[in-house]
Structure 1
């Protein structure tokens, strides 16, 4: 009997049916070729119904030369892993299939638009502003963070595997399953494409560590700001020299110093996550106070600029020639609209006017909210609705317009005292010392719990009133380190408030979303009422600044002395409950809780101390305001922040789920760089009550 006819891509044709008997696919048209295989648009015949066309899918038919490789089992495992990925910025993988002819292929979500690589080649990277590039990178970083939390790396992150779609923006394709096949291609001596984006260790083993994706992400970042990748595919991997690279002109020297380590051939030098790299590359801009606004920034006179002819209207906007941009640039121009909805519009004269009107609306949306700008915005939005009837586009822009109005309401509300709600006015008295009472006329008594409105009908963290008093600060039980000495008396002269719990993901995410900051990684442990982690001192301070601006009240990070005073809650023992760590009093490495050495506990999982504060010991280290000093010589004795010393390092208190019990003592202290973060670090807020 003759051997079966060898497989050849030339035998694939439109209308051909592939797949096992129980799940077949009909080929529609070929899309692309690579050493790994051939991509086709196809129909999933198993989804056909009486009155319904079969669902469209993309098939990658694997190169027949790879079908006998040892990598196939790993390939199948990776495809199976990828089936669990369900993220808006990752193309869905449906599985792998084998046809009776011997073809092996994967079925994926169909993507009809162009890759980022093709957009850059055809339209030129010069149309990609810093803001547009940042939006793409944020979306890619979110996709990587999601997959990395599930211990799945992409392994082939290049501009060819990033698609810019009309509805969701950036979407990653070919996630993970190409890794073993790329390695096999290299071993067979075939040329691998786009190696300039691969980490030096990319072909050493499969699956790859997440750090390999961070390297590729850094290469992508470099390309978006220079127009070319940092290295050439012809460069031997061992000759890649970071120091010889030309710094991207669109990035500052400080930003370049952040990006360079991500391009290191040493995985340990790279940031832990792409989100972390983005956060350090593009720290949120400081929001200007209304008093410092210039007429141009406040929108004064913008009405005149936007009135009149179409050309005069455009003169107030960035110089954009819509007819020359191309559809991809229109996608980017509409980047502030969720999903880049303008991508589906063609460049005829009517849509030229539509796009100009859209740009006018977008320009007003960037201005500081004012009644004049609100009136102008309503007018321009009405004109836009006349030109366009697409409900999805109008709905998306309408949401932005409503958001602008909310911002104006918030700004007006700031002129008045924000609302405060008393959660509990039953004072929680310390058990071991008699605190001084608050001054006559004070709104709250010691131990009261309240919260302040930070957005309309949205309130900030619960705050507990802490009494004034005196205490001895430092290692009173001789269990600590030299940096806890000398013991010294501190006087807290006025009551203040401290957040009842560590700031949660729910509270921090509200801030991040409202200010455009990346959401910190939750390590897959959950968000909501778990303490926010993976935040630096800079992040914590920015949150405090935001709450202060939103409320008009003196929110800030607590001082180190305030923190220890509150943690002790009148005690002189190692822990507020005594000198013995006990069982299940906190989350640390050896505290006898279900969270020990594993992950954070939801806030409030353990007993409150006598001041009504939760988790002051263990769970997460908490940033405080002070600069670090090696000991308490010359430390303030009035409870104020110590703002001299090693100010590139900031003090953290309380220990964490990861640390031994000795480090969660009330006196224990540590320090880290202000721009660093880990999954065991967070913070809480303080509030001055003078006013």
Structure 2
């Protein structure tokens, strides 16, 4: 109740608007506060000395209803919460004081059963707050197409933009930027639109439970096993590192904003009103994005002192909140007994030693929870490195095929998403088994061990979209186990090699409305959006082999390009069909030629959906296949060892050309299949071609 009284004090001082007051209350309720007690305190404080806001009774009524409206239990399973994503009201408090310019909050004329744009039918209200309502919705277009999963989330903004075109423009810009946050551990924003006066966002729909449900706060013991706790921490780190690289700070990270899906994946929600870091050269006093300064989103128990003080957002604010959550996961208690960071700072509170923490873990938490930004761990990835510093062991993935229990998948997810962090997963110290995920060095590519097996390579005659050079279909046996790259080799990984090896790489075929050789384009600047986590492209077959030889010499293990048979084996991952049920779902699973690209380059033959990327996407932006590999379809073509053969019955190949697999961001729908083959001359370089490596296991020394 102390936090609520402090909030009411700020309201009395004129620092909080009416909707911000409700949003703060809803956040406290989300963290376990009693709604009735908050409403009664509000009423008594207002009676004692009237608060300088109109509609206090309305706020009190909304508080009483917030506990029931924040998360609606689906009727089919009392243990799950339908998350679309669930709403974090304090993150959306932008109602301005009467008379000020800006968006004005109102309840929109939509409700359950409303159909927006003749397409999105709202079927269930699952979140309500100061600036938006969140609905479970059905995409009627997907229903017509017979899609298996037509559900999505619709966030309806409850502000009136009639007279505030600059504010609407800001929301448009923010939604467009959020589309770039395509990451396995971030709820995905699909698009934004408006229907008359109703402005809304569409997002992926999730089934799961908030992390707060899994936490204990009685101090007796951690709520989860250590491996599972580290899995969840690593997944949150992966999401934050990805967002921070795009200059986006969450600003309200807390257990209620982390959802554990029914498949065991952690997803951070409510990036929707996250603030964007401003680069120094972008400061502009006339920038309409300054409207974001009116946001005052924070949850007292997890917000850094700087957030409380109203400072500009910084990645270190998210690191502070992450460390609070990590402390709860590992010890069972909040680091400051749920006091706000400002109170902890003012009273000189120190972290209480815990028998559940090892020395290096306690030190890592202490660094990340520093009350001064300048002394705080600067990056989420560094925090994870420090937290796991003594955990020098191989990480086991276990059963990757079929349905997996929640605990198993959550533990394995750590290994999948660790590739997004700065720190290594140290190479194995015991013989590798199928499913083991490892790195042979801190900057080596992340690998997963695969068992030997058999499958049918190629396409059968009469199969949809089958090409003559994919035939005849034939049985293939992979006789020896091997390890495959979890993702395509990244720009950052290739840069390590390039520092040791002079590359004459100027001149690359790049697409800008047409394919043409561009003398100034190379692997360092292959696409406009390229960062270190993007797949390296503009590399030839020889470049890929040189990198493999360099890595082999560096590690003592044999790395090489996969054979075409090995590539199709791990791309199919035990399935004879595409990894998605219909064409609309392609963009949820791969970076392909889509409407994002077609809008930039009219005339493309493209999927009807949007994957959010025009060119290559950061590796791992889409769901891994059953073997744990990401981007085997789409993103960039991948070189293989094989010389080109016109069909599988041909014995001798043309070794001036080599086979590429998987398609790319430019590839039309009919060619995005595991069986599809393409070929290029060995010295050819294009910004749609990269590679991944395999590592031999049998001769590891």
TM-score by length of 2: 0.41
Structure showing greater relative contact order (alpha-carbon pairs closer than 8 Å, 6 or more residues apart) = 2
Q: TM-score, normalized by length of structure 1?
A: 0.41
Q: Whose radius of gyration is greater, 1 or 2? A: 1
